[in-house]
Amino acid sequence: MLQYQRPTGTLDTLPEDQHYWDHVRARARHLAELAGFERIDVPVFEATELFARGIGTGTDVVDKEMYTFTDKGGHQLTLRPEFTAGVVRAYIENGLYVRPQPLKLYSFGPTFRYDRPQAGRYRQFTQFNAEILGEQDPAADVEVMAMVWDLYDGLGFRDLEFQLNSTGCPRCRPGYLAVLKAYYAEHIGEICEDCRRRLEHSPLRVLDCKADQCQPVIAGAPHFLDHLCDECTEHFGALREYLDLLDRRYTINHRLVRGLDYYTKTVFEVWAAGIGAQAAVCGGGRYDGLAEILDGPPTPAVGVAVGLERIILVMKDLDVDVPPTPTPSVFLAHLGPQAKWEELRLMDALRQAGVAAWIAFGERGLRSQLREADKRGVRYTIILGEDELAAGLATVRDMKAGEQVGVKLGDLVEWLKARV
């Protein structure tokens, strides 16, 4: 047992996995920019109060999952468990609401939740996050949904489908909650301890309960969609029409309420097979009230958070082909100190010319250097020894063909540049 191990629920991403990450980030960035999203980076930690107000006390994220600490100055800080609260804070603090609206912002980065680790569920994970701020048109909801759909589709995911619901607005929510609570009051003896507590603090969350004993009660629960106000009904209807129009499949899921308090109207997730019980590869929705909760101007908004680790698990499961990260295709082997000097200069000239190369370290025999070149999988090995220096030529070994040619030292950079 090693004394030093990575903390529970964290991952090392080794070099051989980086190409998946590069590929997914590049695809996400490309799709975001196609839709006019601009990048924003916000701190990895924020004042604890921001998340407590924004996400809401009573949610699992705030009550159970935050990495909170007091710094040396006595400030209460929290490693971000999600992006939206920080992005909306930055939107207000930097006065971004005076720019032409809507403003479309995307981010990438680590997020932290004290979750129960298992396959696809970590305590540090990476999100691609996108928000459209300052727009209430359901077409904006569809735009973020279509973007993540295209991300999954382009990465080779099959059988895509949104889980879709509406969680209403401050006008219709109290009415629905009253109906829901009345229904639960009749079944209070049948539900779990947690749900009894949820009914007090975050009643919508009872619909999300995984406990076996609660399933029949949830199945008979009234649907929010039957209790939406006219505005929310209209929004949801238009959203469905637009999704149909763009051929993005969805299924209405009356139990989908999501874990964060700030959602209004649209909530959605995409589930994927191949990552066990942790099926959601993204989640999002509309949060028209959040900016005001954080003392900003009224700002209707919609966003999505995509978990990148889960995407990569699915890609591996589906055997998605991803171009490998390129490695140098030239190896510089040398015999004797003078040849080494010449090759250090050559290495430098190759880098200036944009040609990636390895140089042999230490003083070794040619056989050992060629073995290294072979292991590194290069196309060409340059061999310089006393004879080559005297003739002003380098021996260039084509590692695939096993053939060698002499190339004038002065021409070598151009010769290699033309071939790799």
**Residue 302 tokens, joined:** 């919609």
- One character per residue 78-97, x = contact with ligand AMP (rule: CB under 6 A): ----x---------------
On whether the CB atoms of residues 302 and 141 are closer than 8 A, the answer is: yes
Among 104, 121, 205, 397, binds ligand AMP (CB under 6 A): 121
- Under DSSP, the state recorded for 375 is H
Residue 281 touches ligand AMP, criterion: CB under 6 A = yes
3-state SS, residue 267: strand
| Encoded amino acid at 340, one letter | K
CB of 49 to ligand AMP, least distance (A): 20
For ligand AMP, which is the closer residue by CB, 124 or 325?
A: 124
> Does position 259 bind ligand AMP by CB under 6 A?
yes
Figure out which of the listed residues 148, 199, 280, 301 binds ligand AMP, where binding follows CB under 6 A.
280
Structure tokens given for 41: 């980076």
How is residue 330 annotated by DSSP?
Answer: E
In this chain, which stretch among 47-55, 114-122, 202-210, 379-387 interacts with ligand AMP, using CB under 6 A?
A: 114-122
Closest CA to 248 of 134, 151, 132: 151
* Residue 60 or 342 having the CB closest to ligand AMP: 60
Q: How far apart are CA 363 and CA 385, in angstroms?
A: 12
Q: Which is nearer to ligand AMP, 312 or 346 (CB)?
A: 312
> Rule CB under 6 A: is residue 286 a binding residue for ligand AMP?
no
Q: Which is nearer to ligand AMP, 281 or 396 (CB)?
A: 281
Interaction between residue 108 and ligand AMP (CB under 6 A): no
Beta carbon nearer to ligand AMP, 300 or 307 = 307
Considering only residues 214 through 253, tell me which ones interact with ligand AMP, judged by CB under 6 A: none
Q: Which is nearer to ligand AMP, 128 or 358 (CB)?
A: 128
Distance CA(284)–CA(379), nearest Å, equals 47
By the rule CB under 6 A, 310 interacts with ligand AMP: yes
Rule CB under 6 A: say whether 266 interacts with ligand AMP.
no
β-pair type (103-112, 38-39): parallel
| 131 touches ligand AMP by CB under 6 A | no
Measure the CA–CA gap between 381 and 412, rounded to whole angstroms.
12
CB of 154 to ligand AMP, least distance (A): 17
Instruction: Find the binder of ligand AMP among 150, 288, 309, 388 (CB under 6 A).
Output: 309
Tokens found for residue 390: 């005297």
**Segment near ligand AMP (CB under 6 A), from 43-51, 68-76, 118-126, 149-157?**
118-126
Shortest distance (Å) from residue 197 CB to ligand AMP: 20
Distance CA 402, CA 379 (A): 10
CA-nearest of 146, 171, 181, 175 to 234 is 171
**Cα separation, 119 vs 278, whole angstroms:** 8
Indicate the SS3 state at residue 406. Answer: strand
Contact 356, 345 (CB under 8 A): no
Region class of 276: left (phi > 0), else alpha (psi between -120 and 50), else beta: left
Q: Of the candidates 46, 60, 115, 141, which one interacts with ligand AMP according to CB under 6 A?
A: 115
State yes or no: residue 205 binds ligand AMP (CB under 6 A).
no
Indicate the residue whose CB is closest to ligand AMP: 307
- The secondary structure element, H or E, covering residue 280 is strand 280-286
Interface with ligand AMP (CB under 6 A)? 82, 113, 115, 121-122, 125, 127, 259, 280-283, 305, 307, 309-310
